[in-house]
Structure 1
Amino acid sequence: MVYNRLVRRLRTLGLDDFGRYLSMLEANQNSAEWQAFINALTTNLTAFFREAHHFPILAEHARRRHGEYRVWSAAASTGEEPYSIAITLADALGMAPGRWKVFASDIDTEVLEKARSGIYRLSELKTLSPQQLQRYFMRGTGPHEGLVRVRQELANYVEFSSVNLLEKQYNVPGPFDAIFCRNVMIYFDKTTQEDILRRFVPLLKPDGLLFAGHSENFSNLVREFSLRGQTVYALSKDKA
């Protein structure tokens, strides 16, 4: 998959081998082609309400908190995860102004554009109830039949931005009540995982939650997080 994406970049640029492509990147560190290169390398496997057991936990946590409930989706991809979070919070807390907010980020600028559009195939929303589908999405008609779009009332609660988790500091509007960083850490070595988790610590409120992917285990990486179960970690109150 990555190979095919890179081959398409070479064809677009009129290059005939990877060596010339890498030399071009190295020669101009500020080239816009670097972002295209990053976009080609990223993997974007996602779905609405993926790992569905996380969302009732999020809803329960949100109901117990005071003030604006803020969530960061740190690997938002094409938007299914942050919109699933938004639907969960809208169902749990309502849609009063200032009650909750979702900040969604990804390193891949192309998938962020799709996420911002909020347009999906109707077949991708099978995990939603009929009530959720009607309340939060508009169905396309005519040439757009079979497509749906996130209603603006819900989209207003979701903010998208490009963030690289490997950076030393994150330009994000924390602190957050919960962070979703699922199925991303598996691509990093343990040292990098530890660094990212430590950067999450000051961005979480006391007793904030960190949601991980089903194949990820952070239990022995940093002492600030303790496993609550079902790949959900809690930030110790004295560590925030």
Structure 2
Amino acid sequence: MTPVLYRLTRATAGRVLRAGWRPEVHGLEHLPAGGAILAGNHLSVADQLFLGAVVPRHIAFWAKAEYFRGRRLARVLVRGLGAIPVERAGGRAVLTAFDAAVPVLRAGGLVAVFPEGTRSPDGRLYRGRTGAVRLARQAGVPIVPFGVVGTDAVQPIDARWPRRVPEGRVGYRFGRPVDVAGGSVRAATDEVMARIAGLSGQEYVPAYAPLLRLGRNRT
């Protein structure tokens, strides 16, 4: 069931994004009726906003656990949007976020993951971390790869405000679901990243992306 606040946000802010930037969307028919992980490339802080605007179902995004314990407005927003808390301390604390995502997926929900772990520093696609595949196996759901284009022009790294771009510059392309139940976790992750590269058209780099340390927009 889609949270009321999420529906309201999609009907307001989502409508503004769709009308103002007119993103091109292909492959939504590949989204299964049940639970699935949406795994894509990460170009900008705007990626999640546009993803929520173009997918006509509730997507559970990750949010810093501090928001769930912070000011009342922040608590109301993250809970009302159906976000999943994630601790930044690392180790087992991070794994609790995956534990919280499993019931969402098993109940037929969608969870968005960016396997690179951070935004691309130069527009290329970097090696994927294995968390998405591990989560898919634990929940027993497929991974739907998607490719994002143009969001880095809308919200460049460390830009304060979004920018207008020509119509059709922003695009989301969804591929067929990938069954990652068999084989090694690394091989399955590499397969997902290959699918993402095919959808995004990015050059692939067989190394992990360096973590961005730009203060306010760090992911």
Higher alpha-carbon Rg: 1
Pairwise same-fold verdict (TM > 0.5): no
- Under a length normalisation based on structure 2, what TM-score does the superposition of the two structures give? 0.36
Structure 1 or 2: larger strand share? 1
Higher relative CO (CA 8 A, sep ≥ 6), structure 1 or 2? 2
